[in-house]
Copies of this chain bind each other. A is one copy, B any other.
Amino acid sequence: MSNKKIRIAIDCMGGDIGLSVTVPAALLFAKRYPDVHCLLVGEPQAIEQTLRAQGNVDTSWYDILPASEVVTMADSVEVALRRKKDSSMRVAAQSVKDGIADACISAGNTGAWMAISRYVLKTLDGIDRPAIATSIPNQKGGATIMLDLGANVDCSAEHLLQFAIMGSALASIVDRHERPTVGLLNIGEEVIKGNEVVKKAAELLRSSGLNFYGNVEGDDICKGTVNVVVCDGFVGNVVLKSIEGLAKMVGSMLRDEFTRDPLSKVSALLARPVLNRFRDRVDNRRHNGAALLGLRGIVIKSHGSADAYAFGYALQRARGAVLNGLLSGTSQAVERIMQSVNLHEEQSGEPDTRHTSEPSSS
């Protein structure tokens, strides 16, 4: 990796705003990280025009990969996949498949991005469906990896097990946890609680050889009780957005209180450095960029509503994923865990109902 640049294919057309967010963000990103080469994917004229508006003359940091179509936020997966074969998403994913790019990123329609990257890149052995994972800062000063965040609704217990395997792999690569702890998101710690799929998933996890902690509840995400929190995509998406909504409200309430009267304004002035540090820690734009795990390529999803600042963080995450060896690391970890799971299943014969915080037999 020393002399070779990190090549990132950027879907410039995706997201709620598109070009005027993605292109300026890419420009700043390339200036900050000279080890990166950007592949700007989309309508060439529109991209060039946006670049010119930035007053930029240097052309060494990017190439344009032309794509004539755009997947909109309202497009169904079918339309995105079958009728828009020259979409910027498709071209970006294909560039990873072809080895032209080391990672690809889009802020567009999540369902379409998932379906296209899965269709083009395929999943790892033993993984039926990719999952969207992100890190949520926790009270312990670290981060909790959570998945799935919306790639899959109506999951089976087996899918939840696969998410746990992928999440464990991610935690062992990115956060260097030897045997990351996995919690299953549920409505109570008691075994009797939860819906049928979650109950069955808990059984599978208990006999999986993973470092399964047991059920966790919503507040355990920010507490940092476990390294990895597993849930279906419906729950994960709703939880993530609810948390983001509260974080925004807290920010605006704090502003309210510090501007309510002259005395409050004076204290805000004095407290500014403290409040800035606090804002930086809470600002969810800094946590933008989720990885689509389980694919044979590095695929990053940015928030659709990301501004250039937030999109820049997602680009950094793509670069970090390449530098960390996320792809080979995840593939190897998934393979290793899969073998251990299989081994464990073969050894135990009948379903194992022990709590597996004890060391696995692998």
Q: Which residues of A does B touch, CB under 8 Å?
A: 73-74, 76, 110-111, 137-139, 150, 153-154, 185-188, 190, 192-196, 198, 217-223, 231, 233-235, 237-250, 252-254, 257-258, 260, 263-264, 266-268, 270-271, 273-275, 277-278, 281-282
**Residues from chain B with Cβ under 8 Å of A217 in the complex:** 237-238, 241
Instruction: Give bound CA distance, A266 to B188, whole Å.
Output: 42
Q: How many of these chains are in the complex?
A: 2
Q: Tell me, rounded to whole Å, the shortest Cβ–Cβ distance linking A190 to chain B.
A: 6
- Residue pair A153, B219 in contact (C-beta under 8 Å): no
| A222 pairs with B249, CB closer than 8 A | yes
Instruction: Please name the residue on chain B nearest to A146 by beta carbon.
Output: B242
Query: Could you say which residues of chain B place their CB within 8 Å of the CB of A275?
Result: 257
A258 to B268, CA, bound (A): 12
Contact B239 A258 (CB under 8 A): no
- Give chain B residues whose Cβ lies under 8 Å from the Cβ of A196: 154
Taking a contact as CB atoms closer than 8 A, the residue among B139, B237, B243 that contacts A248 in the complex is B139
Q: A243-B243, A250-B282 are in contact. List 12 more A-B contacts (CB 8 A).
A: A73-B190, A139-B249, A154-B195, A186-B238, A218-B242, A221-B242, A222-B248, A223-B245, A242-B243, A258-B274, A267-B267, A270-B270
Q: Is the interface of A mostly helix, strand, loop or mixed?
A: helix
Cross-chain contact B237 with A219 (CB below 8 angstroms): no
Chain B residues whose C-beta falls within 8 Å of the C-beta of A218 in the assembled complex: 237-245
B235–A248 contact, CB under 8 A?
A: no
Q: Which residues of B contact A110 (CB under 8 A)?
A: 188
Give the chain B neighbours of A240 by CB distance below 8 A. 218
A221: chain B residues at CB < 8 Å are 242, 245
7 closest Cβ pairs, A-B complex = A218-B241, A219-B245, A218-B242, A222-B245, A267-B271, A187-B237, A222-B249
Given contacts A241-B218, A245-B220, contact A74 B190 (CB under 8 A): yes
